[in-house]
Amino acid sequence: PHNPVEKTPVTILGLGAMGTALARAWLAAGHPLTVWNRTPARAAALAAEGARVADTAAEAVAANTLTVVCLLDDASVGEVLAGTDLTGRDLVNLTTGTPAQARARAEWARARGARYLDGGIMAVPPIIGVPETGGYVFYSGPRELFDRHRATLGVPAGTTYVGEDPGFAALHDVALLSAMYGMFAGVAHAFALISKEDIDPAALAPLLADWLAAMAPAVHQTADRLRSGDYTKGVVSSLAMQVAGTPTFLSTAEQQGVSPELLAPYFELIRRRLAEGGGEEDVTGVIDLLVR
């Protein structure tokens, strides 16, 4: 068995932008590293930095107990691992996918004698290995397996364990990124509104950023209302008031020559909730309308 005072050897399959950043972080921290990539040229720089380059994925997996996979998508994971012997291996899959893909991949790995953790990376390559940037990875799967590799997995980025269900890391990843896209949509609309005016986007930017940061804690109230089932609890801005304000937003968009296509679907949902009697609630009831 591996001496615990030594750094755990790691195998990485996939040397794209993210796999290479992960590899560099482990190399820099002194972990013996074996790498493999479909296009071998991408391994050359890492070899010069001390990584051992395997000729095949099977050879790379055989080299170490811990294998980290960071490939394009779930289909490429299936292709790459198809010819490998996973018996007794600890497989950590950081490839982005759906919760269903993660659950199926966990079962697939278990059937081949491997132990499996799934991960969802909340970071971009330049902040991997730079702890103060706050990048982290969601992990799900067996708690004992996560605890065993926690120190090693914590080298490139922070770690947040979200449960035994192997699909939960992907679900948390997609949930946070979905919220991010909603924010990007609002930001796009805001910049579009000022685009034909003598307003410097750089002057609006800090106002927008501060406003979004001030609004962000509202997610805790939403969680509180969802848990209690009382969507009227502590409501300051009622749904009725908010729906009454929607013509102002739509008219302003029209006056500024801006399409309402990003805002309109949300307004449609809050109007529906109002029509169903949710006027004294806040906007939490929209969640019930979304869940099929």
- Who contacts 25 (Cβ-Cβ below 8 Å, separation ≥6)? 128, 129, 155, 156, 157
Query: How many CB atoms are closer than 10 A to CB 9?
Result: 17
Would you say 100 or 226 has its CB closer to ligand FVH?
100
Q: How far apart are CA 80 and CA 67, in angstroms?
A: 12
Would you say 166 or 278 has its CB closer to ligand FVH?
166
67 bridge partner residues: 11, 91
Can residue 25 be called a binding residue for ligand FVH (CB under 6 A)?
Answer: no
Can residue 160 be called a binding residue for ligand FVH (CB under 6 A)?
Answer: no
For 40, the token pair is: 């071998």
Looking at 64-72, 99-107, 210-218, 236-244, which segment touches ligand FVH (CB under 6 A)? 64-72
Would you say 34 or 37 has its CB closer to ligand FVH?
37
CB of residue 116 to ligand FVH, shortest distance in Å:
16
Q: How far apart are CA 131 and CA 104, in angstroms?
A: 32
* Beta carbons of 97 and 166 less than 8 angstroms apart: no
Among 3, 4, 39, 82, binds ligand FVH (CB under 6 A): 39
CB of residue 24 to ligand FVH, shortest distance in Å:
12
Among 96, 140, 152, 284, binds ligand FVH (CB under 6 A): 96
The Cα-based distances of 70 to 29, 73, 165 in angstroms read: 19, 8, 20
Can residue 153 be called a binding residue for ligand FVH (CB under 6 A)?
Answer: no
Q: Which residue is nearest to ligand FVH (CB)?
A: 16
Would you say 65 or 96 has its CB closer to ligand FVH?
96
Q: How far apart are CA 216 and CA 218, in angstroms?
A: 5
Would you say 22 or 63 has its CB closer to ligand FVH?
22
Among 51, 106, 121, 153, binds ligand FVH (CB under 6 A): 121
Can residue 78 be called a binding residue for ligand FVH (CB under 6 A)?
Answer: no
Using alpha carbons, select from 254, 265, 281 the residue that is nearest to residue 186.
265
Among 2, 28, 47, 79, binds ligand FVH (CB under 6 A): 79
Would you say 128 or 243 has its CB closer to ligand FVH?
128
Would you say 20 or 246 has its CB closer to ligand FVH?
20
- To the nearest 10 degrees (0 to 180), the angle between helices 168-194 and 99-111 is 150
Phi and psi torsions of 167, nearest 5°: -80, -10
Using alpha carbons, select from 96, 93, 127 the residue that is nearest to residue 110.
93
CB of residue 266 to ligand FVH, shortest distance in Å:
26
What is the binding site for ligand FVH (CB under 6 A)? Answer: 14-19, 37-39, 42, 70-73, 76, 79-80, 95-96, 121, 124-125
